[in-house]
C-alpha cells in the first residue's frame, strides 16, 4: 500500500471495527431457545451461539446449531443493531424479510431460506429473523479476498469461473419482473427508494445525519463536492429495476464446486433504480480492495471492460453511464465508512477519513476518469 493512502480505522484493526456485539450471549441463547421451541412446536436445544468476527457492521449476526426433531440443524440469525452510532438511521428487518421471501417465491434467484422471524422486539429487545445456514464458500472481507482466503488458493481458471458465476446472478437480479403483481405488491409495501432521484435524496440526507458527533454536524468539502457532482451529472435512467444494493463478492455464498451461487446475501440496501448501479457497485468494491490498496488483483479475474461486456450481453442494458454509477458507488461507500469513523473516533477521524483514507482516494481517482 502506498504511503499516501491509509486504511480507515475500521479496516486497520479488526478489534475496533464497529461490528455489533451481543450484550448478553447466554441470556440471548436461553430466550432464543424458548422462542424457537414455540415457533417450531418442538423442544429445541441450542448449546451455544457464535458471533463471527468481522461479519458485518450494520447488524448482529449469530450462527448456531439447534437440536430438534431428532436432528441437528444449522441456522444463522440477524438481529437489528443497537447503539449510539449506528450505520443507518433506520434499519428495517421486515423489508429484508419481505424481499428475500418474495425472491424465493417468485424468482429463481438463490437466496437464504427464512424459517422464523420476530419483528416486534419483544423477545430479544430488537427485531430478528432466522435463516437456514447455506453451505458454501464466501470470499472474505477482512483481509480482502485478493490478499487472503480460499480464492488465493485457486487456479486462475477457477477464479474466473467464480467471478462469472456471481456476475451471472447479478445480471439475473436485473431481470426480475417487478411488474408481476406478487412482486410489485411487496415492493410497494416496502416503500423502497423508487429511482435515482430518490436515492440521491436519501444519500444527501444520510450525509446530514451521519456526519454528526454529539449533536454537532461535521461537514466535509469532499463529500459535499461529490454529492453536488452527482446531482449535476445525473443521467436519465435506462430502466427502473430491482437493485440488490450491496452487490459484492463478499455477500455471495458460492457452491462448494465453485461453479455457481448458493445464495445472495444482505438485502439491506435494496432499492429500485437503474440496474447499472448494481454492476458498478460490484466492480467498484472489487477494484477498491486491490487497486485501491495498491495490491495486485488475483490472476484470473476478468478486467473491468470484460465484466461490463459480459453483463451488457446478458442483460441487454446500456453501460453508457457506468462512470457515473462508479462514482455513485464510491461516494456511498465513503459516506458509510465516514459514519463508522465518526462513531469510533470523532471529528479527527472525519478529517483524516476524507483526506487520507484509501476509499476516498480511489473515489477521487474514479471521479477523474473520462466517462465512457
Q: What is the pLDDT of residues 212-239, one digit of tens each?
A: 888 888 888 889 999 999 999 999 999 9
Would you place residue 2 in the very low, low, confident or very high pLDDT band (cuts 50, 70, 90)? Answer: very low
Beta pairing, strands 114-118 & 128-132: antiparallel
| pLDDT the model gives residue 53 | 65
Q: What is the pLDDT of residues 248-274, one digit of tens each?
A: 999 999 999 999 999 999 999 999 999
Would you place residue 339 in the very low, low, confident or very high pLDDT band (cuts 50, 70, 90)? Answer: confident
Q: SS in 3 state form for the chain?
A: CCCCCECCHHHHCHHHCCCCCCCCHHHHHHHHHHHHHHHHCCCCECCCCECCCCCCCCCEEEEEEEEECCEEEEEEEEECCCCCCCCCCCCCHHHHHHHHHHHHHHCCCCCCCEEEEECCCCCCCCCEEEEECCCCECCCCCCCCCCCCHHHHCCHHHHHHHHHHHHHHHHHHCCCCCCCHHHHHHHHHHCCCCCHHHHHHHHHHHHHHHCEECCEECCCHHHHHHHHHHHHCCCCCCCCEEECCCCCHHHEEECCCCCCEEEECCCCCCEEECCHHHHHHHHHHHHHCCHHHCCCCCCCCCCHHHHHHHHHHHHCCCCCCHHHHHHHHHHHHHHHHHHHHHHHHCHHHHHHHHHHEHHHHHHHHHHHCCCC
Q: What is the pLDDT of residues 281-338, one digit of tens each?
A: 999 999 999 999 999 999 999 999 999 999 999 999 999 999 999 999 999 999 998 8
Amino acid at each position: 500500500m502506498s504511503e499516501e493512502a491509509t486504511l480507515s480505522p475500521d479496516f486497520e484493526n479488526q478489534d475496533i471495527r464497529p461490528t455489533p456485539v451481543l450484550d448478553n450471549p447466554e441470556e440471548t441463547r436461553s430466550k432464543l431457545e424458548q422462542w424457537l421451541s414455540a415457533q417450531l412446536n418442538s423442544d429445541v436445544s441450542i448449546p451455544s451461539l457464535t458471533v463471527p468476527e468481522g461479519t458485518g457492521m450494520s447488524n448482529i449476526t449469530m450462527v448456531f446449531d439447534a437440536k430438534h426433531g431428532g436432528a441437528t440443524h444449522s441456522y444463522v440469525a440477524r438481529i437489528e443493531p443497537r447503539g449510539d452510532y449506528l450505520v443507518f438511521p433506520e434499519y428495517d428487518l421486515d423489508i429484508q424479510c419481505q424481499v428475500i421471501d418474495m425472491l424465493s417465491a417468485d424468482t429463481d434467484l438463490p437466496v437464504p431460506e427464512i424459517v422464523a422471524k420476530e419483528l416486534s422486539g419483544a423477545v430479544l429487545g430488537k427485531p430478528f429473523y432466522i435463516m437456514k445456514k447455506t453451505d458454501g464458500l464466501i470470499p472474505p472481507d477482512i483481509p480482502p479476498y485478493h490478499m487472503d482466503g480460499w480464492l488465493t488458493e485457486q487456479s486462475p481458471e477457477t477464479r474466473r469461473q467464480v467471478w462469472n458465476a456471481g456476475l451471472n446472478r447479478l445480471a439475473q437480479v436485473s431481470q426480475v419482473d417487478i411488474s408481476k403483481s406478487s412482486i410489485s405488491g411487496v415492493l410497494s409495501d416496502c416503500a423502497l427508494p423508487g429511482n435515482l432521484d430518490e436515492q440521491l435524496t436519501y444519500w444527501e440526507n444520510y450525509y446530514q445525519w451521519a456526519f454528526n458527533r454529539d449533536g454537532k454536524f461535521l461537514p466535509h468539502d469532499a463529500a459535499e463536492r461529490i454529492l453536488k457532482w452527482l446531482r449535476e451529472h445525473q443521467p436519465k435512467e435506462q430502466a427502473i429495476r430491482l437493485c440488490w444494493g450491496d452487490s459484492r463478492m463478499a455477500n455471495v455464498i458460492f457452491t462448494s464446486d465453485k461453479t455457481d451461487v448458493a445464495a445472495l446475501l444482505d438485502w439491506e440496501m435494496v432499492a429500485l433504480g437503474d440496474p447499472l448501479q448494481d454492476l458498478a457497485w460490484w466492480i467498484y468494491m472489487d477494484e477498491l480492495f486491490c487497486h485501491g490498496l495498491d495490491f495486485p488483483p488475483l490472476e484470473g479475474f476478468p478486467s473491468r471492460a470484460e465484466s461490463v461486456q459480459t453483463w451488457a450481453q446478458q442483460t441487454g442494458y446500456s453501460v453508457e453511464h457506468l462512470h457515473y454509477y462508479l462514482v455513485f458507488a464510491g461516494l456511498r461507500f465513503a459516506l458509510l465508512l465516514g459514519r463508522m469513523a465518526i462513531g469510533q473516533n470523532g471529528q479527527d477521524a472525519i478529517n483524516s477519513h476524507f483526506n487520507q483514507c484509501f476509499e476516498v482516494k480511489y473515489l477521487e481517482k474514479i471521479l477523474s476518469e473520462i466517462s465512457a
